[in-house]
Chain A
Amino acid sequence: MFQNVGEMVILFWSTLLALPATWRQRQKVSDQFFEIGNASLLMVCILSFFIGGVIALQTGPLLVERGLGSYVGGVVGFSICKELAPVMMSILIAGRIGSAMAAEIGSMRVYQEIDALRTMNISPIHYLVLPRLVAIALALPLLVTFAILVGWLGGALVCVANDHIAISFAAFFSALRDTVNVQDVANGVFKSFAFALIIATVSCHQGLITRGGPRGIGRSVTKAVVNSIVLIVFSDYLLTRILLK
């Protein structure tokens, strides 16, 4: 385990050192960026809409019963932007995009495509890891911003439509504006940026160390997703502690 952690740190550091080459790899960054967007936007939309709705449904009646109806918008808005959108969307992207990264790089490793790159003096870090890391680091915060807005909308619609809550659209967003400030949203987006780096590093590392045939690729994909999720949840706690100060 410690060897894996060490290798991931080295991979991440090597990729950071390769960042000046990003412009040269812009076409690949752009391809990856749109692939991530295309693959995830609809799922992000559906997931965040219903997360917002469920939070409103769970908290709304309780708060209204106690005469705290004016706080529903704040509770839903705050929990979505600071916690649920960044964590849930990152887990979704770890499953959808991290697995694809590990599978693609893993199969390239197994079928000697990475060896072929090395014999041509093409660094796998520049060619494979850098574009993926940059693309996901740009795409995930954007997806999370979008998820926050859709989640708020989902929460608001449930508050309007549900008889046990029955809060107007304007009242929901007025409460949300009073509770949630720009820094809260920025915190959530910043967290998603950190999670994006984790997903790319873990998934690319698992791909690069793949051994064996199709079974090895399957193992790498599973490890990439599970390790990414564990690290996302663990670093979420650390980041929350740091950002609360």
Chain B
Amino acid sequence: MTSTPSHPGGVSVRVRGLRKAFAGQDVLAGLDFDVQPGEIFVIMGPSGSGKTVLLKHLIGLEEPDAGEILIAGKPVRSPEVMSQYRMAMVFQSGALLNSLTVGENVGLYLAEHRLKSPEEIARIVTEKLEVVGLKGTEERMPSDLSGGMKKRVAIARALVIEPQLILYDEPTSELDPLSSVVIAEEIVNLKQRIQVTSLVVSHDRDLAFGVADRIAVINKGRILTIGTPDEVRRNPDPLVEQFLHASFKRL
């Protein structure tokens, strides 16, 4: 979220007693969890379980009713976090600026904060688009792209920030299996390359068990379980089992 990075590598995230209600209805009902620097932490849960609202709190777009979120030990909405740590979010819809070209979208952070010359920005944009397999699309408009391409452009836009914390909101929704694998590989590659802390919100079980260091399953704003993929798989909680093993075969 900042233009002047000062700490390399990923950052830790600590959430304590996080509560949020909309129109009197609890969306987050007291969440507690920690994410270690450089970890890929996947939050799974059915639609409407509060996953996206949680992400918005983690990046400071929403203010909690109660509880705290600490990034590297500091409150997420504090000026220190805003100025010292780089955070990025890949929105479910991509949230590309429709009036800008793909290249302008990807380079927006660098251009608006005057961090690089236009030539350098163009080079970085090309490089990041190549990483997500979209080299040569710089001049295209977001409206010309498929859902999957938009999501990959959004990831390229996040990569430009060289984030220490990256939040993915349903990164594989609306994607074909092949594109989903590409995105999953990119999430893992990023961790290996820049030790970024990744928080992935998804109900895609293949993605979660494929990339996660740890998984949290939430339902109705509460955490049902947290653990490694194996621990979560073995969890006997009926709600967790139901979510993890739901299948069309039952039909």
Contact = CB atoms under 8 A, between A and B. Distances in A.
Interface of A: 24, 104, 107-108, 111-113, 115-122, 127
Contact of B97 (A24, A116, A118, A119): A116
Nearest to A104: B99
B1 A113 contact: no
Nearest to A127: B112
A119 B109 CA distance: 10
B89 A119 contact: yes
A108 B97 CA distance: 8
B93 A121 contact: no
A119 B88 contact: yes
A116 B153 CA distance: 13
A111 B91 CA distance: 10
Contacts of B99: 104
15 contacts: A107-B98, A108-B97, A111-B95, A111-B98, A112-B93, A113-B95, A113-B98, A115-B56, A116-B97, A117-B97, A119-B61, A121-B82, A121-B109, A122-B113, A127-B112
B91 A116 contact: yes
A122 B112 CA distance: 7
A113 B97 contact: yes
B137 interface: no
Contacts of B113: 121-122
Nearest to A112: B95
Given A120-B157, A121-B109, 17 more contacts: A107-B98, A108-B97, A108-B98, A111-B95, A115-B61, A115-B91, A116-B95, A116-B96, A116-B157, A118-B60, A118-B61, A119-B87, A120-B109, A121-B2, A121-B113, A122-B108, A127-B112
B161 interface: yes
Contacts of A120: 1, 88, 108-109, 112, 157, 161
Nearest to B92: A112
B180 interface: no
Interface in B76-130: 82, 87-89, 91, 93, 95-99, 108-109, 112-114
Contacts of A117: 97
Interface string B1-38: 11100000000000000000000000000000000000
A108 B95 CA distance: 9
B59 interface: yes
Contacts of A119: 1, 59, 61, 87-89
A124 to B, nearest CB: 11
B81 to A, nearest CB: 11
Contacts of A115: 56, 61, 89, 91, 95
A118 B113 CA distance: 13
A77 to B, nearest CB: 42
A23 to B, nearest CB: 12
Contacts of A108: 97-98
B155 to A, nearest CB: 13
B83 to A, nearest CB: 9
Contacts of B91: 112, 115-116
A158 B99 CA distance: 45
Which 8 interchain pairs have the tightest Cβ spacing? A116-B95, A112-B95, A121-B1, A120-B109, A119-B89, A122-B112, A113-B97, A112-B91
A108 B96 CA distance: 9
A113 B96 CA distance: 6
Max count, chain B CB within 10 A of own CB: residue among A104, A107, A112, A118: A112
A123 to B, nearest CB: 9
A128 to B, nearest CB: 10
A34 to B, nearest CB: 15
B162 to A, nearest CB: 12
Nearest to B112: A122
Interface string B29-64: 000000000000000000000000000100111000
A104 to B, nearest CB: 8
B101 to A, nearest CB: 14
Contacts of B1: 119-121
